[in-house]
Amino acid sequence: DIVMTQSPDSLAVSLGERATINCKSSQSVLYSSNNRNYLAWYQQKPGQPPKLLLYWASTRESGVPDRFSGSGSGTDFTLTISSLQADDVAVYYCQQYYTTLWTFGQGTKVEIK
């Protein structure tokens, strides 16, 4: 199975500042035939199911604010919140769907400093 490792486990960022979350996969999730990275990012607030933010590593889901962006390729990926808002306090997960056995990262908790 592909192991997804996020860093840090938690971070505290001031309102309006940038938040950066990293996700590393134990093997590449880049499919060479279509040049797509099979990686998604989700946001989960307390007591709620997760919400899809990005797929194909950098494609924003409809309705997701443009302060959320994704980058990276192969095994190393980043989720960036360009200007943290109070509503962004949540746990963020990456997920690979490159193999038939999907796996999530352990999650990164984002708080306000």
> Cis omega (within 30 of 0) on the bond before 49?
no
Site string for another protein, 9-38 (x = CB under 8 A): -----------------------------x
Residues of this chain, 55-84, that bind another protein according to CB under 8 A:
55-56, 59, 61
- The neighbour count for residue 18, using CB atoms within 10 Å, is 12
> Which of residues 2, 52, 64, 89 is near another protein by CB under 8 A?
52
Of 81 and 93, nearer to another protein (C-beta) is 93
| Helix, strand, or coil (residue 24) | strand
What span, in angstroms and rounded, lies between the C-alpha atoms of 95 and 5?
A: 10
Give me the residue label for tokens 């352990």. Answer: 106
Residues near another protein (CB under 8 A): 1, 38, 40, 42, 44, 49-52, 55-56, 59, 61, 91, 93, 95, 97-98, 100-107
